[in-house]
């Protein structure tokens, strides 16, 4: 039987309750600090769960977990992906099939448009094996086009790959990627924050994109239009304090100007796998705690106690990590607050 309870699933999915309260519920199973107005919803659920509009989806998800059809990890679990945990809007529960450990490996998000050209396909097939040889796990969204090509290239060379779905694991989209889905679930990992039977809505895709970038230190935009959802992934990456890299396209190809626009806005122009490796070499992180602390700082300035609250590390571990990061010229302290040092 799964360690994730039906109550935790409810905490995760209930709407119109602040995420901090939901996180408390998922982590501790209690509502002791909830205001009375929100606590009443918990009382109603606990007394008559079948009246909840999400009960059917919650029950089906719980049954799938108990039967081993899929698994789940909560934000309170030690094996929750550390980079993702550092996000203020990190999923409280991740449902997955495959090898969860891949979500904690050094990763590269590879995304782009759904209308994939032969050039983008060739780039994925040539670059991904070289990047995988350097120990990078390839993360993408299992969408048509560049996403699928990135996954296929990883599978083709025996590399690790993670697919992040916008809908539940039981409602695959697009349906024609069933075989690809199963291959990734077998040798990689497929993950979603949605309950098992939930179909993806339009607004779920941008939400999914924050997980794609959130699992990765670098996000690579291969090919995209100015309206492509992959540019949303790039914006998420920037907001999360991650690196964004883009492959330039000809200015004569009007429909593929997304990467060029990102480069104008400060994304790293890359023309080879080595350019991407160099971005990782600029982040000499020696363990997950360092990576977690650095990404928790983001683009602002934060106090040690705030970092401790976000990362759930004790303050002595925070100070140790900050000392190492400061030696590597990655962070700086001013007036008791810590911020990231920018390069270039």
In 3D space, the residue among 98, 90, 51, 94 whose CA is nearest the CA of residue 196 turns out to be 94
pTM for this one?
A: 0.81
pLDDT by 10s per residue, the chain, length 344: 568 999 999 999 999 898 888 988 898 877 887 888 888 988 998 899 999 999 999 999 999 999 999 999 999 888 899 899 889 899 999 999 999 999 988 999 999 999 899 999 999 999 999 999 888 999 999 999 999 999 999 999 999 999 999 999 999 999 999 999 999 999 999 999 999 999 999 999 999 999 999 999 999 999 999 999 999 999 999 999 999 999 999 888 888 999 999 999 999 999 999 999 999 876 544 456 777 787 778 767 899 998 988 888 888 889 988 988 887 777 899 888 998 876 44
Q: Phi, psi at residue 247, to the nearest 5°?
A: -90, 120
CATH of domain 100-281: 3.40.50.450
Q: Phi, psi at residue 311, to the nearest 5°?
A: -85, -20
Q: Determine whether 314 is exposed, middle or buried from the number of CB atoms within 10 Å of its CB (0-12, 13-18, 19+).
A: exposed
CATH of domain 288-340: 1.10.10.10
Distance CA 55, CA 61 (A): 10
> Under 8 Å CB-to-CB from 218, ≥6 apart: which residues?
108, 109, 237, 242, 243, 244, 245, 276, 279, 280
> Under 8 Å CB-to-CB from 130, ≥6 apart: which residues?
273
In this chain, the answer to whether the domains covering 100-281 and 288-340 adopt an identical fold is no
Pairing between β-strand 337-340 and β-strand 331-334 as defined by DSSP bridges: antiparallel
Distance CA 301, CA 122 (A): 41
Domain boundaries in the chain? 1-67, 100-281, 288-340
């Amino acid at each position: 039987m799964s360690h994730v309870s039906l109550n935790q699933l409810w905490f995760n999915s209930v709407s119109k309750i602040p995420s901090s309260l939901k996180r408390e519920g998922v982590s501790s199973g209690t509502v002791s600090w909830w205001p009375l107005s929100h606590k009443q919803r918990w009382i109603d659920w606990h007394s008559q769960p079948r009246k909840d509009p999400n009960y059917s989806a919650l029950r089906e998800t719980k049954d799938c977990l108990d039967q081993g059809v899929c698994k789940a990890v909560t934000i309170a679990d030690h094996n929750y992906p550390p980079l993702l945990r550092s996000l203020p809007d990190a999923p409280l529960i991740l449902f997955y099939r495959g090898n969860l450990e891949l979500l904690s490996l050094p990763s590269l998000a590879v995304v782009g448009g759904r209308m994939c050209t032969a050039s983008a396909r060739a780039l994925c097939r040539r670059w991904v094996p070289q990047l995988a040889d350097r120990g990078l796990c390839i993360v993408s969204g299992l969408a048509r086009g560049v996403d699928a090509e990135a996954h296929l290239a990883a599978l083709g060379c025996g590399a690790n790959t993670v697919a992040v779905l916008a809908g539940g694991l039981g409602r695959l989209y697009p349906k024609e990627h069933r075989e690809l889905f199963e291959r990734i679930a077998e040798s990689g990992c497929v993950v979603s924050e949605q309950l098992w039977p939930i179909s993806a809505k339009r607004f779920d895709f941008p939400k999914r994109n924050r997980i794609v970038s959130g699992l990765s230190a670098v996000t690579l935009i291969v090919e995209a239009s100015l309206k492509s959802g992959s540019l949303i992934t790039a914006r998420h990456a920037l907001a999360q304090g991650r690196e964004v890299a883009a492959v330039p396209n000809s200015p004569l190809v009007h429909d593929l100007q997304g990467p060029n626009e990102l480069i104008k806005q400060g994304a790293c122009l890359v023309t080879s796998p080595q350019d991407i490796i160099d971005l990782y070499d600029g982040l000499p992180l020696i363990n997950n705690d360092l990576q977690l602390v650095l990404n928790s700082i983001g683009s602002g300035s934060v106090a040690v106690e705030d970092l401790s609250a976000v990362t759930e590390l004790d303050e002595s571990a925070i100070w140790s990590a900050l000392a190492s990061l400061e030696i590597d010229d990655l962070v700086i302290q001013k007036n008791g607050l810590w911020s990231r040092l920018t390069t270039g």
